[in-house]
Amino acid sequence: MLTIGQLASYAGVTVRTVRHYHAKGLLPEPERDRSGYRRYGAAAVVELVRIRTLADAGVPLSRVRELLAADDEEFVAAVEDIDRRLRAEIRERQVHRERIAKLAAGDSLALPPEVVAYVDRMRELGFRERLVEIERDSWTLIAAQMPEQVGPWMAMKQAQLEDESLRRLYLDVGELVDCGPDDPRLPVLADRVAAFIEAAADGAEGVEEEHPVSDDLVALLDAAFVECFPGAVRMLELLEERGWTGWTNIRRSTPAPVAPALPADC
Amino acid sequence: MLTIGQLASYAGVTVRTVRHYHAKGLLPEPERDRSGYRRYGAAAVVELVRIRTLADAGVPLSRVRELLAADDEEFVAAVEDIDRRLRAEIRERQVHRERIAKLAAGDSLALPPEVVAYVDRMRELGFRERLVEIERDSWTLIAAQMPEQVGPWMAMKQAQLEDESLRRLYLDVGELVDCGPDDPRLPVLADRVAAFIEAAADGAEGVEEEHPVSDDLVALLDAAFVECFPGAVRMLELLEERGWTGWTNIRRSTPAPVAPALPADC
DNA sequence: GCTTGACCTTGACGCCGGGTCAGGGTTGCA
DNA sequence: TGCAACCCTGACCCGGCGTCAAGGTCAAGC
């Protein structure tokens, strides 16, 4: 008769594993000798080897119990099922590999490459770091909720960066970092923003009709803007006085709703 | 300000997940409102999206904490490490797939195909089911401990099956199923077995020199034989009287050790 | 004002396949 | 007789949350 250690070593498993299988009901508890030790016959080794054969093939232990008692049909069906699971887990890992490869390639977390290019260009052009960060974070949020919309939007934003007058306006928006609520630069900046939006509102239709952003997301992006800049609240008030409401998706606040304007996108 | 549910839905995770990340220290606990609810700013959404981006790429949460604070070099090193892990997990699953495919192909658990062919042939030739089972179980044990030895052994066993006089002897061994310890057939059978072994011992060298079986395994196989047949113990005694000891690896029990005999292999 | 349902809180257990430790009893060998 | 190597049970541990329990809070409708 075998002790548990001998049984385990015949089957190439640990003693703990054998006891685990007893607890799970996979292997029946054998007789005990007078000192309480488990005593096994050779048949137990065969059973244990069968269990390990299935377990080593990636069959979950709960399934092993069924399979040991299954007839051929059930067995084949169960094997197909397990193979499906294994294929799914392999696919999952492959997707994971692609994703971390992209993370290692792009130099920033959770950002599509167009956006990485965009924020790099902002840094080249001398934008305030704080403004670059809030852009990056905003696009992180947008990419999380509507990844396929990022491309068209980015094309527009990149074009805006290369427009000199618009760029100068946006560079000055970066100065909001330093503005307290009573900073004299704020009303001037609000005038310039309002003038630009006004002009743009008359022009061509933007990306925003084809790729609308949900109200929730707009509210979140506005909140991020406000959290980031101390002068942001005052800026929104000043824009309100000039007939505009919001920032990410800026719109006329006059009673009659008009066509939406090109967003400034913080 | 956002509640935990809103935060979670922005990032596409469950509330439980957010709390889990708080508990793990991945996401800082935010301020509470007067009723004790957590209140989040937009920055928390950005942080949470970053965490999920890494987690969705298969990065373990313990690693996520490091990676969020890592510089580029550490990041690249960590990503390589994670990719190694993913590759290893994929390989593991692929091995599992091959194994269960083999299990589904061979019609019996834990048996190499040669053995399956062998036991099928035994059934065709009209061997007692009990004898077939003990053969199958014995080979299950052998395959578990020394899989690469099974091939050569099987070749010999299959040849033995096709030898008519030997087959007839072995068919009669199957009758041990019905033999009590005092069955009159037992001494006759013991004589025949002894005669065969005697003859074989003078003949050519067998497989057993090139592919020796460990003493432990031999003892286990003998034990399986004894467990399986009520007349087995008496049979071993009778063989002992005739100068032979053991069954799986039967040897002369005379004082001076002699060259080992061809095993009968239960 | 009251109810209802959706949300929030903490705390705890469950899953899977065992690893590992603690605190003891038993066996076999020198 | 001592010691090492084995055996026993019971318990906690890992990851990444799911799920339940038992209660507090909020907003909306009647």
Q: Which two tokens stand for residue B234?
A: 């008496």
Angle between helices B164-173 and B185-202 (to 10 degrees): 140
Q: Is residue A55 part of a domain?
A: yes
The reply to whether A156 and A222 lie within a common domain is yes
The reply to whether A115 and A236 lie within a common domain is yes
The reply to whether A231 and A116 lie within a common domain is yes
> For residue A62, which amino acid is it?
S
Distance of alpha carbon A75 from alpha carbon A69, whole angstroms: 9
pLDDT at B99: 85
Number of structural domains found in chain A: 2
Q: What is the pLDDT of residues B215-262, one digit of tens each?
A: 889 999 999 999 989 889 999 999 999 999 999 888 888 654 444 444
- Contact call for A99 and B140, based on CB within 8 A: no
Q: What is the pLDDT of residues A183-234, one digit of tens each?
A: 999 999 999 999 998 888 776 556 677 778 888 899 999 999 999 999 899 9
**How close B193 gets to chain A, by Cα (Å)?**
24
Distance of alpha carbon B225 from alpha carbon B131, whole angstroms: 9
The residues close to strand C, meaning Cβ under 7 A, are A 14, 16-17, 20, 33-37, 55, 60-62; B 3-6, 15, 19, 36-38
CB A67 within 8 A of CB A78: yes
Q: Which two tokens stand for residue B154?
A: 């099987």
Q: Assess whether pLDDT exceeds 70 at residue B56.
A: yes
Q: Is residue A260 part of a domain?
A: no
Q: Which two tokens stand for residue B130?
A: 């009990």
- Contact call for B103 and A46, based on CB within 8 A: no
Q: List helix spans (H) across chain B.
A: 4-11, 15-24, 42-56, 61-68, 72-105, 113-124, 129-145, 150-162, 164-173, 185-202, 215-228, 232-241
- B-chain residues near A91 (CB < 8 A): none
Q: Is residue A261 part of a domain?
A: no
The reply to whether B145 and B244 lie within a common domain is yes
Q: Assess whether pLDDT exceeds 80 at residue B58.
A: yes
The reply to whether B34 and B53 lie within a common domain is yes
Q: What is the pLDDT confidence band of residue A116, given thresholds at 50, 70 and 90?
A: confident
Q: What are phi and psi of A39, to 5 degrees?
A: -125, 125
Residues spanned by the domain of B248? 108-252
Final residue belonging to a domain, choices B102, B133, B154: B102
Distance of alpha carbon A216 from alpha carbon A227, whole angstroms: 16
The reply to whether A141 and A96 lie within a common domain is no
Please give the mean pLDDT across all residues of chain A.
Answer: 87
Can you list the pairs that B204-213 forms with residues at least 24 positions away whose Cβ atoms lie under 8 Å?
A: B206/B156, B206/B262, B206/B263, B207/B152, B207/B153, B207/B155, B207/B156, B208/B249, B208/B260, B208/B262, B208/B263, B210/B152, B211/B146, B211/B149, B211/B152, B211/B153, B213/B142, B213/B146, B213/B149, B213/B248, B213/B249
User: In A, residues 221-260, which contact B (CB 8 Å cutoff)?
Assistant: 221, 223-224, 227
Question: How does strand B244-245 pair with strand A244-245?
Answer: unpaired
- Contact call for B144 and A96, based on CB within 8 A: no
Final residue belonging to a domain, choices B83, B102, B121: B102
Final residue belonging to a domain, choices A76, A102, A128: A102
Q: Which of B265, B260, B246 is nearest to B157 (CA)?
A: B265
Distance A61 CA to C23 C1' (A): 30
pLDDT at A101: 85
The reply to whether B86 and B133 lie within a common domain is no
Please give the mean pLDDT across all residues of chain B.
Answer: 87
Q: Is B103 on the interface with A (CB under 8 A)?
A: yes
Q: What is the pLDDT of residues A55-91, one digit of tens each?
A: 988 899 999 988 888 888 888 888 888 899 999 999 9
The reply to whether A125 and A238 lie within a common domain is yes
Q: Is residue B179 part of a domain?
A: yes
The reply to whether B58 and B154 lie within a common domain is no
CA angle B168, B220, B202 (to 5 degrees): 45
- Contact call for B103 and A54, based on CB within 8 A: yes
Q: What is the pLDDT of residues A133-177, one digit of tens each?
A: 999 999 999 988 888 888 899 999 999 999 998 999 999 999 888
Q: Is A51 on the interface with B (CB under 8 A)?
A: no
Q: Which of A210, A173, A179, A175 is nearest to A193 (CA)?
A: A173
Q: Is A16 on the interface with B (CB under 8 A)?
A: no
The reply to whether A77 and A145 lie within a common domain is no
Q: What is the pLDDT of residues B4-20, one digit of tens each?
A: 999 999 999 999 999 99
Distance A18 CA to C17 C1' (A): 12
Q: What is the pLDDT of residues B105-143, one digit of tens each?
A: 765 676 888 898 999 999 999 999 999 999 999 998 998
Q: Is residue A23 part of a domain?
A: yes
**Closest nucleotide over all strands to B29 (CA to C1'):** C9
